[in-house]
Structures are given as C-alpha cells and as structure tokens.
C-alpha cells in the first residue's frame, strides 16, 4: 500500500518535536479523520532556518509532515509557500488515493505557520497566502475528486 519512501519517513521521521524559539506556528486539522498537524518555523531574514513538527495522525500524515520539513528547511518563505501537496506526494513516490488528503494537511500546516509568522510581524497574511492561511483549516479538497478525504 505504501512506498518504501513513505515507510522510511514513517519509521524515522525527520524534524520531529517543538521549536521553543519558533516565530511561526501553525496547526491544522482534518475534520473528517480528526488528525492534527502542528508546524513550528524559525524564520530569519526571510529564510526558514529551522523547522519542527508534531503530528497526531496516520502514518501518511507523519510521512508527509516529515518530507515537508525537509523540503522547506533552508528555503525562502516564497519557496515554502510554493510547496504543494503534489510535490510532497511525488517526493514520497506516491500515496494511495485515500491518503492524498494527508499531503494536503502538510501543505496547509506549512502555510498556516507562515501565516502566523506574518501576523506576528503585523502583516496581513492574506496578502501572500490564498485563504489567509487559516490556522484551523477544515477539510479541504486537493482536487483529486472523490478520493480526497
Ligand atoms: Fe487523516 Fe491521514 S488519515 S491525515
């Protein structure tokens, strides 16, 4: 059901934990499955210098969080905002259709953390992030039809 890459990240997730000095923290949940993902970012001069996550959810949610942190660490805010769930899925070598929504959660968690960072700077995140980076986004379809969710 899962690729080796998914199993690798599930068994040995990268960047797990909290960042006490995070300046952007985002938490998202999927109303349907009840899984929750929390992303902590340390942003300096527009660069994500450190990132950690805590995910209370399925194995795919853990794997997608893990790979997302690897993809955005050391990158600019703009690059992190451009991260799509499709890229996350590709990096994992694919996900079963019924698990695609887990990758959407990872994308949303990154955006929610960046939205929080902007808010802390007194900047309206809606200027940069579609939907304003709602920190408690409800289930949102990834465009994969009925398989999403
Ligand atoms: Fe909900 Fe994976 S089943 S995030």
pLDDT recorded at residue 131: 60
Distance of CA 144 to the CA centre of its chain: 18
Pairwise CA distance, residues 81 & 141, whole Å: 18
Q: Model pTM?
A: 0.88
pLDDT digits (tens, 9 = 90+) for 78-88: 999 999 999 99
pLDDT recorded at residue 130: 77
Q: Is 58 a catalytic residue?
A: no
Asked if 26 and 115 count as a contact pair (C-beta separation under 8 A), the reply is yes
Instruction: Tell me if 104 CB under 6 Å of ligand 1.
Output: no
Expressed in angstroms and rounded, the spacing between residue 144 Cα and the centre of ligand 1 is: 15
Instruction: Tell me if 58 CB under 6 Å of ligand 1.
Output: yes
pLDDT digits (tens, 9 = 90+) for 106-148: 999 999 999 999 999 999 999 998 765 454 444 444 444 444 4
Expressed in angstroms and rounded, the spacing between residue 114 Cα and the centre of ligand 1 is: 22
């Amino acid at each position: 059901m899962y690729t080796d890459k998914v199993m690798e990240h599930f068994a040995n997730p990268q960047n797990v934990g909290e960042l006490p000095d995070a300046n952007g923290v985002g938490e998202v949940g999927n109303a349907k499955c009840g899984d929750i993902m929390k992303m902590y970012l340390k942003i300096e001069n527009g660069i994500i210098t450190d990132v950690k996550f805590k995910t209370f959810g399925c194995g795919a949610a853990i794997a997608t969080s893990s790979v997302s942190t690897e993809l955005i660490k050391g990158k600019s805010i703009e690059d992190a905002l451009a991260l799509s769930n499709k890229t996350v899925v590709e990096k994992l070598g694919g996900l079963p259709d019924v698990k695609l929504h887990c990758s959407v959660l990872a994308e949303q968690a990154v955006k929610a953390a960046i939205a929080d960072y902007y808010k802390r700077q007194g900047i309206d995140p809606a200027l940069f992030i579609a939907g304003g980076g709602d920190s408690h986004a409800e289930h949102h379809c990834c465009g994969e039809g009925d398989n999403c969710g």
